[in-house]
Each structure stands twice: as C-alpha cells, then as structure tokens.
C-alpha cells in the first residue's frame, strides 16, 4: 500500500509546481475579460446560452438545428475573436512573435 501512496505523491508534485508557476495576475485579467463579455450580454441572452449549453451537455449534436443556430447567434454576441485579441498577449507575457 505504501507503493500506491508514493506514486500518488510523485504524480501530484508536478501539478503542484505547475500551479505555483501560474502567472496569477495574467490569469485574473483573463477571467475579468471573460466576465466583461458575459456581462455584455443581455440577461435573456445569458439565460438562453446557459440553458442551451446545459441541454447540449457540451455537445452540439445534442441540439436541434434551430437550437444550434440560436447558440451560434448568442455566442457571436460574446465576440470571442475580440476577447482572444485581448487575452493572448496576456498569456504570452506581452511578448510578440517577430515576422520575417
């Protein structure tokens, strides 16, 4: 039984070190950007998006064609592409790739 305990602790150690290495300020800014987009939706859109995601259980195939269209319309209002432009530089640490 001691062997299983040592395996568990050795496996969890890298996870702990990765958790400590997370840049918490950048992670907080990402969460704030997501929250800002979420609050930008109307109460009705937030409720409908929540309901569609719950009903689908994360799989688009579980929704009807009409529900999928409705989901796409609400997700477009979130402007995920714009959020990505805000979030990616935060995750990179402000570094940009050089173009040749």
In a domain, 99, yes or no: no
The one-character DSSP state at 44 is H
Local confidence band at 27 (pLDDT 50, 70, 90 cut-offs):
confident
- pLDDT above 70: residue 8: no
Closest C-alpha to 86, from 35, 43, 23: 35
* 36 touches 93 (CB < 8 A): no
Q: Please give the Cα distance from 61 to 100 (Å, whole number).
A: 42
Q: Please give the Cα distance from 8 to 4 (Å, whole number).
A: 6
In a domain, 100, yes or no: no
- pLDDT above 90: residue 11: no
pLDDT of res. 66 = 93
* 75 touches 52 (CB < 8 A): no
How many domains does the chain divide into? Answer: 1
Q: Please give the Cα distance from 62 to 52 (Å, whole number).
A: 10
Q: What is the pLDDT of residues 60-80, one digit of tens each?
A: 888 899 999 998 999 888 888
pLDDT of res. 10 = 52
The pLDDT of 11-20, averaged and rounded, is: 64
* 37 touches 76 (CB < 8 A): no
Regarding predicted confidence, which is higher, 58 or 99? 58
In a domain, 44, yes or no: yes
pLDDT of res. 48 = 92
Domain that holds residue 54: 2-92
């Amino acid at each position: 039984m001691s062997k299983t305990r040592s395996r568990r602790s050795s496996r969890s150690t890298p996870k702990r070190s990765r958790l400590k290495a997370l840049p918490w300020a950048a992670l907080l800014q990402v969460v704030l950007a997501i929250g800002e987009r979420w609050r930008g939706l109307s109460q009705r859109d937030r409720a409908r998006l929540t309901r569609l995601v719950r009903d689908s259980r994360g799989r688009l195939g579980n929704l009807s064609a009409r529900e999928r269209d409705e989901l796409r319309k609400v997700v477009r209002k979130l402007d995920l592409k714009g959020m990505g432009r805000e979030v990616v530089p935060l995750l990179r640490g402000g570094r940009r790739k050089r173009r040749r």
